Amino acid sequence: MRVYLAKRILLIVPTLLGVASLVFVIMRVIPGDVALLILGGDSGQIDRAQLAAMHHRLGLDQPLVVQFGTWLWAALHFDFGASLWTGRPVVEELLVRLPLSLELAILATIVAVVLAIPFGMLAAMRQDSWLDYVIRVISIGGLAIPSFWAGILVILFLVINFGWGPPLEFTPPWVDPWANFQQMVWPVVTVGYRYAAVTTRMTRSTLLEVMREDYIRTAWAKGLAERVIVIRHALKNAMLPVITLIGTEFAFLIGGLVVTETVFTLNGVGRFVVDAVAHRDYPVVQALVFVIAFGFVIVNLLIDLTYAWFDPRIRYR
């Protein structure tokens, strides 16, 4: 087990290094100059000398390898530098937006888990029945309907019929729970629906597989009640892939809810990253992608360790 653990942890290093390099390269390949953008503004006059001075001040005139090395070294000390666009430290900018994204991710996950596991179980236990069909159709709805479209229509419906619009700024739940609820309820429902849909389908399919296993058939033969079989025996094993899914989806939620955040005007991490890409704000994009990847890798590691713990065969691969 220890060997396996060591091997897995060691493998994180090249992965993170790879992600850092990839984002660095990609961002530099995209055409566009942040200095030009800053000086240009809405439609301003560009002074060549100012452009050169800005390049120098932002460190953009150094050789790429040097820029990468400087950044990586600082990143290992958790110093992600300052945004090229605003000049403020990246960490500071990130911390302003993190609470909202975290809350959204956590609440959506809760919604998903609370809905998905029971419904997934029901659908599996009643495969090919009307209940199964209904659950499956509603689940696919969560995947098929473009979330930004649904979100826009929901808000519009509320505005037209109730004259109600969502609050425009984030208030943490411990400051004003009602204001927080008003802002978060629709994004959580929209994201949670999709999340629940994916998880329900996964729960259903893994449960179906597990229920075909020989040891379950033995339990049937022994005459155990269906509920006992499913909950006490099948669910445990079916949960592993489901937990994996929840884990990876959660990691994705922190930085990936770009469209949701844009539609509902949430000052979150996803929109921040996309704006940074549009501004060619290299330090911000590099830092955020690195952090998200880091989170993803850690979550994966924990999941793999859980698998290894339960399934000895994997440890000795």
Range 90-129, binding another protein (CB under 8 A): 93, 96-97, 127-128
Pair 276, 286: CB distance under 8 Å? no
The footprint of another protein on residues 238-277 (CB under 8 A) is 241, 244-245, 248, 252, 255-256, 258-259, 262-265, 267, 270, 272-274, 277
CA atoms of 143 and 194, how far apart (whole Å)? 6
Phi-psi bin for 181: left (phi > 0), alpha (psi -120 to 50), beta?
Answer: alpha
Question: Is residue 9 at the binding interface for another protein, with CB under 8 A as the rule?
Answer: no
Question: Is residue 146 at the binding interface for another protein, with CB under 8 A as the rule?
Answer: yes
Least distance in angstroms from the C-beta of 139 to another protein: 9
Residues 6+ apart with CB under 8 A from 33: 280
Pair 75, 20: CB distance under 8 Å? yes
The footprint of another protein on residues 34-93 (CB under 8 A) is 34, 36-48, 50, 53-54, 57, 85-88, 93
Pair 233, 216: CB distance under 8 Å? yes
Looking at the Cβ atoms of 37 and 305, the one nearer to another protein is 37
Question: Is residue 289 at the binding interface for another protein, with CB under 8 A as the rule?
Answer: yes
Dig out the tokens for 307 from the structure: 């698998």
CA atoms of 93 and 83, how far apart (whole Å)? 8
Could you say which of 101, 200, 206, 237 contacts another protein (CB under 8 A)?
206
Give the Cβ contact number of residue 107 at 10 Å.
18
CA atoms of 252 and 85, how far apart (whole Å)? 25
Dig out the tokens for 165 from the structure: 């619009």
Looking at the Cβ atoms of 8 and 111, the one nearer to another protein is 8
Query: With CB under 8 A as the contact rule, which of the stretches 70-78, 111-119, 224-232, 284-292 interacts with another protein?
Result: 284-292
Q: Residue count at the site for another protein (CB under 8 A)? A: 101
Could you say which of 155, 216, 224, 305 contacts another protein (CB under 8 A)?
155
Dig out the tokens for 299 from the structure: 């979550």
Looking at the Cβ atoms of 119 and 264, the one nearer to another protein is 264
Question: Is residue 278 at the binding interface for another protein, with CB under 8 A as the rule?
Answer: yes
Query: With CB under 8 A as the contact rule, which of the stretches 2-10, 26-34, 59-67, 224-232 interacts with another protein?
Result: 26-34
Quick one: how far is CA 30 from the chain centroid? 24
Question: Is residue 133 at the binding interface for another protein, with CB under 8 A as the rule?
Answer: yes
> Between 179 and 198, how does the x/- string for binding to another protein read (CB under 8 A)?
--------------------
Residues 6+ apart with CB under 8 A from 169: 183, 267
